[in-house]
Amino acid sequence: MFQQGTVYIIGDSKTSSNNPIMQQFNAFFVGLVIDRETDKIIDAECSSTINLTTRFVQSLFVGKSILEVDRVSEEIEQRYFGSSQKALMVAFKNAHIKYLQIKNK
């Protein structure tokens, strides 16, 4: 399904304790499949209680570069108004840090 040159990264964060995602998963996660040659995100999924949320998050990430943290974070701020907005940005930044560690090995 995914090409040999791809990697899978999980970014995680916390959100408010009354958020259904925290009640179900105890954390917020975003999973990203990234092409190591181009740094492009080719697939994405997140912990969510509504399938539409996952599909919308995919539209925010797929096709973007994992290296463009500010650009992607700005798009999240402008387009994603779910209760996990901040958690999504933190999880993405966490995934970015993990990717850089892998890329620099």
Ordered structural domains, the chain, with CATH: 6-103 (3.90.1010)
Torsion of CA 10, 12, 17, 21, to 10 degrees: -20
Confirm if 41 and 63 have CB atoms less than 8 A apart. yes
Instruction: Please report, rounded to a whole number, the percentage of residues in the chain having pLDDT higher than 70.
Output: 89
CA distance 38 to 20: 35
Mean pLDDT (the chain) is 89
Query: Would you state the pLDDT for residue 18?
Result: 59
pLDDT digits (tens, 9 = 90+) for 36-69: 999 999 999 998 778 898 999 999 999 999 999 9
CA distance 89 to 67: 14
pLDDT digits (tens, 9 = 90+) for 74-90: 999 999 998 888 989 99
CA distance 61 to 43: 8
